[in-house]
Amino acid sequence: MTMNDDDFVKQFRDRLAGIPEEPVPPGTLMRWRKALDAAARSSQAEQPARASAFDMRLRFAAAASIVLAVAGVAFLAREGGVSPGPGPVAAARAERGVQLHLIELESQLVRVSALAGADRASALRELADQNRLQTAVADRAGGAREARVLRAFTVTLEDMASEADQNGRFKAALAQLDFELKVTQARLAASSPSNSAVRSQAL
């Protein structure tokens, strides 16, 4: 013999009716409330955590794809192979490459400013070399405007390297370069709506 749902509900009600009504002890009530609050907090926190992990993956993927694109253009430029040409796609790619390079340069400069004398000079020369490479990429992709700004930055970086042991001058030059980096980034972000997301994705 099997019990159907209606019979089961009837039986359950009868048993409940047989249980005497007693107040829930205060300690137990407190425990239930704490457990419910904790469950609520964890369910609220879990959602942003998942979103954050996803966001990080998205940022990494975006940054990686841009780096690959820039490296691809640089490779083509160095190998003298198929020229990307100054078409709109290549120009947009170069512009985004420059934007990413400027963000990287900005963070590298923070690191370099913590170094002393000779190490600082050597790190600045490396940055100048990276900047030259990026200039060649921008030039080849038809980004003459970006290339000019980058060349000016190379001159500044070389000047900074030659005066790396003079803290006052170094700080002044760093402040000027920092300003010019920010202005250039603002111009690039303003000129292309799609680029405005790159900074936040790359950070």
Partner 1 sequence: MKTNFLQVAALALWLQFGPDAYADVNVTQVAAADSRKEARRSPTEEEALQLAALEGLMNMPADRAMPILKRVLSGNQSTLVKERALFVVSQFSNAEAQQLLVEVAKQPDHPLRREAIRNIGIGGQPGALAVLKDVYASGDEAAKREVLQAWLVADRKDEVYQAALAAKTDAEADRAIQTLAAMGAREELRKLATQRKGSKSLMEAFAVSGDIQSLKRLAETAPDAATKAEAVRRMGIVGSPEAKKALREAYEGATDAKVKAAALEGFLITGDDQAVLEIYKAAKTPEEKRTVLRTLTAMGGDAALGAIDQALGGKK
Residues that bind partner 1 (CB under 8 A): 139, 144-145, 147-149, 151-152, 155, 168-169, 171-173, 175-176, 179-180, 182-184, 186-187, 190
Nearer to partner 1 (CB atom), residue 104 or residue 163: 163
Length of the chain (residues): 203
Of 39 and 155, the one with the shorter C-beta distance to partner 1 is: 155
Sort residue 82 into left (φ over 0), alpha (ψ -120 to 50) or beta.
beta
Q: 53-86 as b/e, with b when 16 or more CB fall inside 10 Å? A: eeeeeeeeebbeebeebbeebbebbeeeeeebee
Kindly state the smallest distance separating residue 27's Cβ from partner 1, in Å.
Answer: 49
Local structure of 170: helix, strand or coil? helix
In the complex, minimum distance from the CB of residue 84 to partner 1, in angstroms, rounded to a whole number: 19
Residue 83 · residue 140 · CB < 8 Å: yes
Residue 73, amino acid? V
Nearer to partner 1 (CB atom), residue 75 or residue 179:
179
Nearer to partner 1, 58 or 175 (CB): 175
When the beta carbons of 69 and 185 are compared against partner 1, the nearer one is 185
Q: How far is the CB of 196 from partner 1 (least distance, A)?
A: 8
**DSSP code for 193:** G
Taking the complex as a whole, the smallest distance from the CB of residue 163 to partner 1 amounts, in Å, to: 10
The whole-angstrom separation of Cα 25 and Cα 40 is 23
- Residue 192 CB, shortest distance to partner 1, in Å, is 13
